[in-house]
Amino acid sequence: MPKFISEEIEVKFADKPGLPQSFIWRGKEYKISEIKGVQRFVDFRKPWWRRRHRDYFLVKTEAGETFEIYFHRGPGRQYWVLFKAYQEDNESGF
């Protein structure tokens, strides 16, 4: 079962815009070796100018850990969040 974390993180990017290369959580840098999935969430219940937009990434690190992170790009401040940590590689994300 994935572990719910929901803490803000700092994300570094590769040459291609929008794709995370690594992230820093609690002072430690995690280098991403693989992006296993991407998903977009849009809250259509609100008017377009108040909608919450989130881009979710299921990532695997060089150390073999799997995390779900997202970029919140709705109204107001934009930020990255470490959403979940998966304990085993066979756990499915999304």
Residue 2 DSSP code? P
On whether residue 50 sits in a domain, the answer given is: yes
pLDDT at 91: 66
pLDDT at 80: 96
What number is the average pLDDT over the span 5-19?
86
On whether residue 67 sits in a domain, the answer given is: yes
| pLDDT exceeds 70 at position 16 | no
| pLDDT exceeds 80 at position 11 | yes
pLDDT at 87: 84
Give the integer Cα–Cα distance in Å for 53 and 31. Answer: 25
pLDDT at 61: 97
The dihedral through the CA atoms of 25, 34, 41, 74 has a sign that is positive
The count of domains in the chain is 1
What number is the average pLDDT over the span 18-40?
94
Residue 13: domain span = 3-86
